[in-house]
Amino acid sequence: MLLVPFLASAQIDPVARDLIQFGYNGAFEGHQPLAAYAFYYHNDPNFFRTNLTLRLALAPVYLDSELGFKQLLGPNTDFAIGVAGGGFGDDYNEIRGGTFLPTESFEGDGGEVSASVYHLFNPGDLIPLNFLFRGTTHYSVYDRNDDTAPTFQLPNDHADFSVRTGLRFGGVEPTLFPALAMELSIWYEGHLRSDSGYYGFNNDRYLQEQSHLFWAEAALAYTLTNSGQSFYVRLTAGSSVDADRFSAYRLGGFLPLSAEYPLSLPGYFYQEISARQFVLFNANYLLPLDKAKRWNLGFNVGSAVVDYLSGEEQPGNWLSGVGGGIMYHSPSDRWKVMVDYGYGIDAIRSHGRGANSVGLLLQIDLGKFHSKDFKSAQPSNWQGLMRMFN
């Protein structure tokens, strides 16, 4: 299950683009749920009329869309309505103490509608300051999969009414290892569920009626002009009130485009750690290996201090992972591909501490194939989408 607060962008996307993204993480030790994303992202800022923007993210079994009305509420204030839904978008995989527990995992389908207000405080400035207010109604339906224990009681199907608001200064483009970016942002999201209650084995876990999430991020990406060396650093921190398994922060894996704010820990299972609050530091570094700068050697590190969700505790509150890989990008930057390796230093496995993983990341920019009229401006914000294959 993807953490919902990390999906939404903070402005209507003003740039025409067509992107295909793919990512996969595979573990050497232990059994994990399939961790992969594959989606097509389309944005049309002149959809039928110049003041309409259509954003569409299409995964194999999930659709996320938004229709934006530019300057509908004022010269610097936009309004948008969104529709999303499909299969397996609300799946839940229980991972506890470094072990994936299929008997406590289950499928979830769902759909939602949303309404958003976007306001730009500083039009004309180089770095935008945007405000977001979004209301969403989401309905989830749960079902057993082949491995769910017969004695495991599923949570109630329910509606989730949520409000998200926040400020973002700057933004990060939706590419692997952006060349230049800066962001400072702070967010709040509150959830109110229609049918809370106990579930699990003998009612050993609880779906909260209300949950409140607070998080912030600081990020900086920079590329040296002459050498082509680049780095990307992120500091993310989050806290919560009355979080449960469906609203907790879930850290782990290295899938950098799995969400707007991915909580990466190289070498760990994807979303292995469930936290009530956390502080996470991530850093990526790319070193060109040839004169044309087509081949790059990449390094990444993640380190977090976490306060575990009740029932998901494990020894040690400081978790770290490191990784590296080889990335190649085409001469026109139409596509990039990276094969990477990760080592989870503190990941718990059957042999003790330490875990290994491999990954594949692919990005294709279909816009590079468009005519000379295609708008190639850099995006400043993006709504990520991660859906698990069933």
% the chain with pLDDT above 70: 92
Question: 362: which residues sit within 8 A by CB, 6+ positions away?
Answer: 20, 21, 22, 23, 335, 336, 337, 338
Cα–Cα distances (Å) from 335 to 38, 176, 252, 331, 369, in that order, read: 15, 10, 26, 9, 11
Q: What is the pLDDT of residues 187-205, one digit of tens each?
A: 999 999 999 999 999 999 9
Contacts 24+ apart (CB under 8 A), 199-207: 199/153, 199/154, 199/155, 199/156, 200/104, 200/152, 200/153, 201/104, 201/149, 201/151, 201/152, 201/153, 203/153, 204/311, 205/244, 205/245, 205/311, 206/244, 207/155, 207/156, 207/158, 207/244, 207/246
Note the pLDDT of residue 333: 84
Note the pLDDT of residue 50: 83
Question: What number is the average pLDDT over the span 376-382?
Answer: 26
Cα–Cα distances (Å) from 291 to 277, 288, 294, in that order, read: 44, 8, 8
Note the pLDDT of residue 368: 59
Q: What is the pLDDT of residues 282-329, one digit of tens each?
A: 999 999 999 999 999 999 999 999 999 999 999 999 999 999 999 999
R_g of the chain computed on alpha carbons: 20
**Inside any domain, residue 377:** no
State the pLDDT confidence band at 88, using cuts at 50, 70 and 90: very high
Domain residues for 301?
A: 4-369
Note the pLDDT of residue 373: 31
Note the pLDDT of residue 10: 66
Residue 146: Cβ-neighbour burial (10 angstroms; 0-12, 13-18, 19+):
exposed
Amino acid at 106: F
Please state, rounded to an integer, the average pLDDT across all residues of the chain.
90
- Flag whether pLDDT at 362 surpasses 90: yes
**Inside any domain, residue 308:** yes
Question: Are the C-beta atoms of 363 and 175 separated by less than 8 Å?
Answer: yes
Question: In a 3-state reduction of DSSP, which class is residue 265?
Answer: strand
Mean pLDDT: which of 29-33, 50-54, 276-280 is highest? 276-280
State the pLDDT confidence band at 9, using cuts at 50, 70 and 90: low
Distance of CA 345 to the CA centre of its chain: 23
State the pLDDT confidence band at 259, using cuts at 50, 70 and 90: confident
Tokens standing for 313?
A: 């505790």
Note the pLDDT of residue 289: 97
Question: In a 3-state reduction of DSSP, which class is residue 376?
Answer: coil
Q: What is the CATH number of the domain that holds 29?
A: 2.40.160.50
Question: 178: which residues sit within 8 A by CB, 6+ positions away?
Answer: 172, 221, 232
């610097």: which residue's tokens?
76
Note the pLDDT of residue 5: 29
- Please count the structural domains in the chain: 1
Amino acid at 37: Y
**Inside any domain, residue 382:** no
Question: Are the C-beta atoms of 299 and 324 separated by less than 8 Å?
Answer: yes
State the pLDDT confidence band at 269, using cuts at 50, 70 and 90: very high
Question: In a 3-state reduction of DSSP, which class is residue 6?
Answer: helix
**Inside any domain, residue 389:** no
**Inside any domain, residue 385:** no
**Inside any domain, residue 374:** no
Amino acid at 329: H
* 301 vs 323: CA distance, rounded Å: 6
In terms of pLDDT, which residue wins out, 371 or 40? 40
- Of 12-16, 74-78, 125-129, 216-220, give the lowest mean pLDDT range: 12-16
Number of CB atoms found within 10 A of residue 315's CB:
8
- Flag whether pLDDT at 43 surpasses 60: yes
- Flag whether pLDDT at 1 surpasses 70: no
**Inside any domain, residue 128:** yes
State the pLDDT confidence band at 175, using cuts at 50, 70 and 90: confident
**Inside any domain, residue 380:** no
Per-position DSSP letters for 72-126, written without gaps between them: EEETTEEEEEEEEEESSTT-B--EETTEE-GGG-BEEEEEEEEEEEEEESSTT-S
- Flag whether pLDDT at 367 surpasses 90: no
CA torsion sign for 113, 23, 54, 73 is positive
**Size of the chain in residues:** 390
* 134 vs 145: CA distance, rounded Å: 33
Question: What number is the average pLDDT over the span 141-170?
Answer: 97
